[in-house]
């Protein structure tokens, strides 16, 4: 026969876990085409992202702060990369290559990872 104290303790643990799990919800964004779990509705901040090769791209940071923790996703829009590179005023000798803007896009993940590792914690 189970003791009432044990059953009550298990019930409290299950309810607390369920309540905590309910705080997280799937956030779907059709504009930036992603879906992610967040502990609440994220705040959206418009940003400008300078690429490794001198172009500046539009982006958004989706973030939630909760209980001293910060959860965020940064989305950079490279859709108009060719046009943005053509409009730059800070051209270099390498810009003479017609695919230079593609190199910037292809190297963007490695560049973002490098910036992430170099950040001040």
CA distance 51 to 104: 7
Which ranges in 23-119 belong to alpha helices (H)?
81-87, 100-106, 108-118
Tokens representing residue 103 in the block: 């190199």
Q: What is the pLDDT of residues 100-114, one digit of tens each?
A: 899 999 999 999 999
- What average pLDDT score do residues 29-39 get? 94
Q: What is the pTM assigned to this prediction? A: 0.74
CA distance 17 to 111: 39
Give the bridge partners for 60, in sequence order: 46, 75
Tokens representing residue 47 in the block: 């940003």
| 79 three-class SS | coil
- What average pLDDT score do residues 33-44 get? 95
Look at residue 94 in the predicted model and tell me its pLDDT.
66
Look at residue 69 in the predicted model and tell me its pLDDT.
93
Strands 43-50 vs 56-66: parallel, antiparallel or unpaired: antiparallel
Q: What is the pLDDT of residues 47-102, one digit of tens each?
A: 999 998 889 999 999 999 998 999 999 999 999 999 999 888 887 776 677 788 99
């Amino acid at each position: 026969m189970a003791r009432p104290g044990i059953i009550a303790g298990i019930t409290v643990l299950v309810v607390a876990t369920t309540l905590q799990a309910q705080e997280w919800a799937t956030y779907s964004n059709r504009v930036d085409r992603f879906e992610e779990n967040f502990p609440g509705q994220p705040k959206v901040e418009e940003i400008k992202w300078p690429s490794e090769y001198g172009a500046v791209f539009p982006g958004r940071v989706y973030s939630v702060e909760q209980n001293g923790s910060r959860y965020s996703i940064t989305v950079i829009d490279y859709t108009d990369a060719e046009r943005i590179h053509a409009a730059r005023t800070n051209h270099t000798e390498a810009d003479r290559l017609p695919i230079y803007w593609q190199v910037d896009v292809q190297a963007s993940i490695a560049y973002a990872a490098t910036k992430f590792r170099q950040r001040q914690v």
